[in-house]
Amino acid sequence: MLIRQALYLYRTLQRQWDNVDMLKQYQERKFKAILRHAYANTIFYNEKFKNTGITPDDIRSMDDLHKIPFITKKEIIENFPGKLIAKNYISKRLHYRKTSGSSGLQMTIATDQRCEDFYDTVYGRALFSIGYKPWQSMAYFWPPTYHRKKLHEYFGLMQKRWLSSTLPPEEQLSALVKMKPKIIYGFPTTLLVIAKIIEKNQERYKEICPRFIISHAETLFEESRKYIESVFRCPVYNEYGTTEFVRMAWECKEKKGLHIDIDSIILEIIKDGKACLPGEVGEIVLTSLHNYAMPLIRYRIGDIGAISSKKCQCGRGLPLLETIEGRDDSFLVLPSGNILSPRHVVPLIEKFSQISEFRLVQEEKDRVVLYVVDNPSITLSVIADVKKELYKLIEKEVDLRVERVQQLNKTERGKMQAIASKVKLDLYTNL
């Protein structure tokens, strides 16, 4: 297994420097292979293709991708495991992980060992691109569940020191003081909260001095990045990953967009059923190229983003994801039909240093509630200023209330959803 991982790592590290045409040829070969496998070995795709009236032979190139129907979280839940696990794989030998359920639907994803090994090398490639050394200590924010060590960790390589993402911020900081990690892997909302505490108690937390920080699992806003960098005095890099695909895109040292791992996935940006032009915002649709145990083909993950037409100055052939706007349930849909991206709303609230934790909930198109974790510095004047700033974005017909709470519930994984809209976003009408 270790030899296979080393071979995979060597190939993935070399492949990133191939030109984009070579990478796309590799991607197409892998896609055709997993398409044939899914059709022949899973009941779900066999039935779905037949109902659509297509076979793998109808997909002659990536230009035919649009002929394949999308799949949804609901379909995965309804057909797992019986119809989705490939019949040539033994279930008890597979790896299983659950999604966070932040969308309201929790799924189980199965992978085989070869897929896990490949995902590990893609994960490593992103880290090595920004100067990570495999023996450096890493503090990794994640929920307090059992974490099985990877084989390479027993050899002291790429070891994660788990730090509970559900602990109170003060306890997380105490753990970081003891760990003195060289790298911190964390959720941006968590990083922002502890950065605000550090800024007010710099002498107490002066021993926390990582070489760099990686933000993942939530949308990182540029204003948040700059603030976290100023407090920790180190660069912050963004990564885009999910439980279903592990790692899909990541920033190199240039930080001009996120390199898409097109040797691991197919990432499409779709609007009105068609591929978006570079820079055009649409729905992210994903396909795994290496998960033969449980193929995921044209999966609507529920995120919104845009592809970049630019080529990174670092020289890698991996194309760039220009932006990740957020989840489809984090956009505000206003009475006029206009929408507000979380990229506009969240930084506006975060700039108030008195507010450490918050959640903006859209109950209806004309009713929004901002919940803030109460503390003495949040005066009536601060609340008035926050509302004034928000009304520069939202329409005057919207009833905006601010409510103080003692705490906000986090997801099972310790994530803090900054915006939660109960108004359904029509991706094809509103965007």
Are 250 and 239 in contact by the 8 Å Cβ rule? The answer is yes
Strands (E), 264-409: 265-271, 274-275, 282-288, 299-307, 320-327, 332-333, 339-340, 358-364, 367-373, 399-405
Domain that holds residue 411: 332-421
Q: Say which residues have a Cβ less than 8 Å from residue 86's Cβ, sequence separation at least 6.
A: 37, 38, 41, 42, 292, 293, 294, 295
More confident position, 145 or 405: 405
**What pTM does this model have?**
0.89
* Cα–Cα distance list, 12 to 28, 139, 326 (Å): 16, 25, 28
Residue 343: what residue type? Answer: R
109 and 183 inside one domain:
no
In this structure, the number of other CB atoms found within 10 A of the CB of residue 316 comes to 21
Residue 105 pLDDT:
73
Q: Decide if pLDDT at 431 tops 60.
A: no
Chain-centroid distance, C-alpha 348 = 22
And the tokens for 271?
Answer: 């609007």
For residue 63, what pLDDT band results from cuts at 50, 70 and 90? very high
Q: Which of 214, 234, 254 is the endpoint of a domain? A: 234
217 and 258 inside one domain:
no
DSSP track, 150-175: PGGGGGTSS-EEEEETTS-HHHHHHH
318 and 255 inside one domain:
yes
State yes or no: cis peptide before 134, omega within 30 of 0.
Answer: no
Are 181 and 210 in contact by the 8 Å Cβ rule? The answer is yes
- How large is the average pLDDT for residues 180-208? 93
**Among the ranges 251-255, 353-357, 358-362, 390-394, which has the highest mean pLDDT value?**
251-255
Residue 174 pLDDT:
95
Residue 402: what residue type? Answer: V
The domain that holds 8 is classified in CATH as: 3.40.50.12780
Residue 239 pLDDT:
96
And the tokens for 67?
Answer: 């002929």
Is 297 inside any structural domain?
A: yes
Tens of pLDDT along 76-135?
999 999 999 999 999 889 999 888 765 567 899 999 999 999 999 999 999 999 999 999
Domain count, the chain: 3
**Among the ranges 196-200, 250-254, 348-352, 408-412, which has the highest mean pLDDT value?**
250-254
9 and 96 inside one domain:
yes
And the tokens for 296?
Answer: 């995921």
313 and 354 inside one domain:
no
For residue 409, what pLDDT band results from cuts at 50, 70 and 90? confident
**Cβ neighbourhood burial of 107 (10 Å; 0-12, 13-18, 19+):** middle
314 and 402 inside one domain:
no
- How large is the average pLDDT for residues 273-286? 94
Are 130 and 238 in contact by the 8 Å Cβ rule? The answer is no
Is 196 inside any structural domain?
A: yes
Q: What is the overall mean pLDDT for the chain?
A: 91
CA-closest candidate to residue 111, choices 131, 141, 84: 84
And the tokens for 15?
Answer: 């492949």
Strands (E), 99-245: 108-111, 138-142, 160-164, 183-186, 212-215, 236-240
For residue 159, what pLDDT band results from cuts at 50, 70 and 90? confident
